[in-house]
Amino acid sequence: MKRIIMLTLAVFTLSCQGKPETAVTDNNKEELKKGDLKQMDNSKLETAIFAGGCFWCTEAFFTDLKGVDKVVSGYIGGTTKNPTYKEVCSGTTGHAEAIKITYNPDEIAYEDLLEIFFATHDPTTLNRQGADIGTQYRSEVFYTTPEQKIKAENFIKLLEDQKIFDKKIVTKVSEATEFYPAEDYHQDYYALNPNQPYCKAVIEPKLSKLKKNYKSKLKE
């Protein structure tokens, strides 16, 4: 695990705060639907919620994993109801940019999701991912069941015991509160805007490493 995590881990060098509001067109949505796999058995699906910096990045890392049915970008952990992106970016609402993953535990384990989460962001920087600074970019696992809480805490302990990172892990493990989906233009952002400068410079290199190191876990 140590080799994989250290190979995959990369620090952001650009900021999310200048992200343009790109419109999502019906044509783009149709293109995404063409590659959809058959619908999963909804009775088996569970939910995982992770915050690890810019949700454009975290969303892109989990979308193509086997067993993942849906990934939604949004906001969680704050006090303002129905926050907007502008409000969250101000750092005054207490929310984190996060993703809500709907997945089939028969096809991908929660521990696998945790491994990829910790392998694709820096959990040792408090309220920061590279040039993105603020509580909205904090590292936090929001558990939706008591079992997830135990698994997340044990996973962090394992990383610390094996000294995977040179610094102390600051990732919080908190009970999930209300999750607010982000505005439409944030959803499927990388898939719809792969040539956008931020996507090319920040997401694409990290996504390439992920696909190389976790090839067996990706959808065909």
199 is catalytic: no
Compute the chain's Rg from CA coordinates. Answer: 16
Could you give the C-alpha distances from 96 to 140, 175, 216, 218, in angstroms and in order? Answer: 8, 14, 30, 27
Question: How many angstroms separate the CA atoms of 24 and 32, rounded?
Answer: 11
Marked catalytic residue, from 16, 54, 57, 89: 54
> Is there a contact between 82 and 182 (Cβ–Cβ < 8 Å)?
no
Could you give the C-alpha distances from 39 to 33, 69, 103, 104, 123, in angstroms and in order? Answer: 12, 8, 11, 11, 33
Q: Which helix (H) or strand (E) holds 154?
A: helix 146-161
Q: Which residues, 6 or more positions from 107, have their beta carbon under 8 angstroms from its beta carbon? A: 66, 67
Active site residues: 54
